[in-house]
Structures are given as structure tokens and as C-alpha cells.
């Protein structure tokens, strides 16, 4: 490249450089600044939390105990299924094999006049938990909670 062409090239670049800087500054809109502390809080609130199986069982136990005392104790947004009747009747109502086995064991224990404490059982698929307890009149009550519903409505301080 000869010196004249090189000089012309350098001159074009030196004219183009301020134009590019002005264009760059105009394209940056400093009026829409993001509040970083609010952004950090929002990111933390949407962060995926770890929920341990023990925490899910503990939450179902808490809700089951509340329902045992008052069947309308939980807020309406917490969904659950209720089965109530004698253990023999419930065996006919539920379709899950594992729950049928549990109810069969409860029926046998009742026939032996044993005291049956409240318990929490998983269904065969493992996607639901059932709080099972005996009422004073001899009927068995099952409150069924899906795991996903439990996780969505857990007390936030319990979630790590």
C-alpha cells in the first residue's frame, strides 16, 4: 500500500471513529436503569428450592392433624381427597393396591381391638401421601394429598 492510500485510510478511520462513538452513546439509554436490589430479590423468589421427602411428610402430618381436629381447617387453595368409612368399606372405594393393603391391616388390627395411631402412607406410585386416622366412632378417615400440591403450598420457611 502506498503512503497516500494509507494516509487516506487513516483519515477516513479518524473521521469515522467519532461518528461511531456518538452513535454508541445515543444507542445507550441510561434513563431505564434497573434497580439491582429489587432484581436480586425477584431472582431469589423464583429460585428453585430443594424440598426433602421428610419435609413433605412433616407438612402432610401437620395438615392431617389440623384436619383431624377440624375438617375445614385448611385454606381452600390446598386440595385433598377425603375417604371416610369403615376400613372394609374404604378397601372397596380406593383403587390403589398399597392403600388396600394398609386398610386391610387396619381392619385386622381393629378386629384384634388394637389402638391404631394416625399414620402417613404413600400410594403405590409414590406421587401422593395419605394421612390415615381412626375416629372415636370406629370409622377410618383418609386425607390424600398430591406431592406437587404439598410442595406448592408448603410453608416457605420450611423450604431450603
Contact predicate 50/159, CB 8 Å: yes
Section 49-67 average pLDDT: 90
How far is it, in rounded angstroms, from Cα 81 to Cα 146? 9
Q: Which pLDDT value is given to residue 38?
A: 81
Which one has a higher pLDDT value, 67 or 160?
A: 67
Taking Cα atoms as reference points, which of 156, 160, 159, 155 lies closest to residue 63?
155
Q: How far is CA 7 from CA 1, 2, 14, 15, 149, in A?
A: 10, 9, 10, 12, 73
Average pLDDT score over residue span 18-43 = 72
Say if residues 34 and 106 touch (Cβ distance below 8 Å): no
**Alpha-carbon distance 119 to 104, whole Å?**
14
By the 8 A CB rule, do 78 and 63 touch? yes
pTM of this prediction exceeds 0.75 = no
For residue 69, name the pLDDT band (cuts at 50, 70, 90): very high
Amino acid at each position: 500500500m502506498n503512503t497516500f492510500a494509507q494516509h487516506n485510510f487513516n483519515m477516513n478511520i479518524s473521521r469515522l471513529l467519532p461518528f461511531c462513538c456518538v452513535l454508541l452513546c445515543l444507542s445507550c439509554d441510561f434513563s431505564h436503569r434497573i434497580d439491582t436490589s429489587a432484581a436480586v430479590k425477584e431472582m431469589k423468589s423464583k429460585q428453585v428450592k430443594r424440598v426433602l421427602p421428610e419435609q413433605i411428610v412433616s407438612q402432610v402430618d401437620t395438615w392431617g392433624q389440623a384436619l383431624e381436629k377440624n375438617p375445614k381447617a385448611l385454606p381452600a387453595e390446598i386440595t385433598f381427597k377425603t375417604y371416610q368409612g369403615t376400613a372394609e368399606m374404604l378397601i372397596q372405594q380406593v383403587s390403589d393396591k398399597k392403600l388396600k393393603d394398609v386398610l386391610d391391616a387396619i381392619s385386622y388390627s381393629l378386629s384384634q381391638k388394637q389402638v391404631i395411631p394416625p399414620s402417613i402412607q404413600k400410594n403405590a406410585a409414590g406421587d401422593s401421601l395419605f394421612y390415615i386416622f381412626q375416629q372415636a366412632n370406629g370409622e377410618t378417615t383418609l386425607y390424600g394429598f398430591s406431592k406437587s400440591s404439598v410442595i406448592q403450598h408448603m410453608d416457605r420457611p420450611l423450604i431450603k
